[in-house]
Structure 1
Amino acid sequence: MANDTRTRMIETTAQLLRKRGYHGTSLNDILSASGAPRGSLYFHFPGGKDQLVVEVTRDSVEKVTQGLDEALAAEADPAVAVHHIYQAIGRMLEENEFTLGCPIAPLVLDAPADVPELAELCRSAFQQWIGLLEESFVRAGVPDRRAHALAVLVESSLEGLMVIARATRDRAPILAVADEVAALIESAVLGTGRLTRGVTTDAQLA
């Protein structure tokens, strides 16, 4: 029962943070939505809200990192892999009715500088995600400097597109940009002579 309560609190907090950010998520919100008694919060998380938020964020970052790593490893062609990632994010937003986007973006926008561990988690998360993208481009033969720039471009466009999709309640912008970004990556790889096949467009994959 104790583990069930702890799990409910973690899952509830994860969703609230993605919707409302750090400052918009109160302890009362977490307790009310999870149905957990107040005493259980400090039993499971002696450090209170900050400890809970840090643990939830760490778990969310690990899940995103694992998913990104698997998606990139599943395709030898990074242009195809990235195209699939855009599509998957579009589906994710549609499935949650455009209520949940990136798990750390709301925290970054809240700028909780008074929780250094949380700020470090957000910083390192983007470093990891950009790093994984960069590594996949380098493996395909893209020069280091351009691979890094492309990785930053992909990550930043995904973050912005999630906001646009949530505002418009439409994944079409994500799918449109997916084709353009995939073509750009394909061009970078073709310039190295390492890629011999084209990227399948979104229309073909639908």
Structure 2
Amino acid sequence: MANDTRTRILETTALLLRQRGYHGTSLNDILSASGAPRGSLYFHFPGGKDQLVIEVTRDSVDKVTQRLGEALTAERNPAVAVHHIYQAVGHMLEENQFTLGCPIAPVVLDSPTDVPELAELCRSAFEQWIGLLQQAFVRAGVPERRAHALALLVESSLEGLMVIARATRDRAPLRAVADEVAALIEGAVLAGEVRQRADAAV
């Protein structure tokens, strides 16, 4: 039963953070939505709100990192993998009726600089995700500098498109950009292959 209460508190906090951000989510909100007594919250999370938010955010980051890594290794062609990622994000938005986007974006936008561990967690999350994309592009023969720029493009467009899709309640922008970005990545991969063949011929 204790584990059920802890899980309920974590799940409720994760949902509220994605809806309201760090400053918009109070302990009273968490207690009210989870139905957990205040004593249980402090029993499981003696560090209070900050400990709870850090744990929830770390778990959310780990889940996204795992899914992203799996998507990028499931396809040999990173252009196809990235297109699938845009599709998956679109499905996610439709499933939650365009009420939830990136799990850490609301926290970042709240700029919780008074909680250094949380700020560092968000910074490192984007670093990990961009790094995974960059590594996939490099494996396909794209030069590192361009691979990094493409990874930034993919990550930043996904973050922005989630906001646009939520505002318009339409995943069409994700579909349109997915095609363009995939074509750009495909071109970078082909250029890398041409360069590699030319180098091998020398």
With the length of structure 2 as denominator, give the TM-score of the two structures: 0.95
Choose between structure 1 and 2: higher helix proportion.
Answer: 2
What's 1:47 paired with? 47
Alignment of 1:90-101 (within 5 A): 90-101=90-101
Q: Distance in 2 between matches of 1:41 and 1:55?
A: 13
Q: Where does structure 2 lack aligned partners over 5 or more consecutive residues?
A: 195-202
Q: 1:192 offset after TM fit, Å? A: 1.4
Structure 1 segment 21-40 matched on structure 2, within 5 A: 21-40=21-40
The within-5 A match list for 1:189-204 is 189-193=189-193
Counterpart residue identity of residue 160, structure 1? G
Partner of 1:164: 164
Q: Secondary structure at the match of 1:149?
A: helix
How far the C-alpha of 1:105 sits from its partner, in A, is: 0.4
The amino acid that maps onto 2:105 is: A
Q: What CA distance in whole angstroms lies between the structure 1 residues aligned with 2:72 and 2:61?
A: 16
Instruction: Give distance in 1, aligned partners of 2:55 and 2:157.
Output: 27
Unpaired runs of 5+ in structure 1?
195-206
Rounded to whole Å, the distance in 2 between the matches of 1:162 and 1:187 is: 25
Structure 1 residue matching 2:192: 3-state secondary structure: coil
Task: Measure the CA separation in 1 of the matches of 2:165 and 2:9.
Answer: 28
1:49 Cα deviation (Å)?
A: 0.3
Q: Separation in 2 of the partners of 1:66 and 1:10? A: 19
Task: Report the Cα distance in structure 1 between the residues aligned to 2:160 and 2:29, rounded to whole angstroms.
Answer: 27
Which structure 2 residues correspond to residues 130-145 of structure 1 after superposition, within 5 A? 130-145=130-145
| TM-score normalised over the length of structure 1 | 0.93
Q: Which runs of at least 4 in structure 1 moved beyond 2 Å after TM superposition?
A: none
Identity %: 85
Note the aligned Cα RMSD (angstroms): 0.6
The number of aligned residues is 194
Q: Secondary structure at the match of 1:170?
A: coil
CA offset digits 1:26-67 (Å, max 9, x no partner)? 101100111100111110000000000000000000000000
Partner of 1:74: 74
Residue by residue over 1:147-178, the C-alpha shift from the partner in whole angstroms, topping out at 9 and shown as x without a partner, is 00000000000000000000000000001000
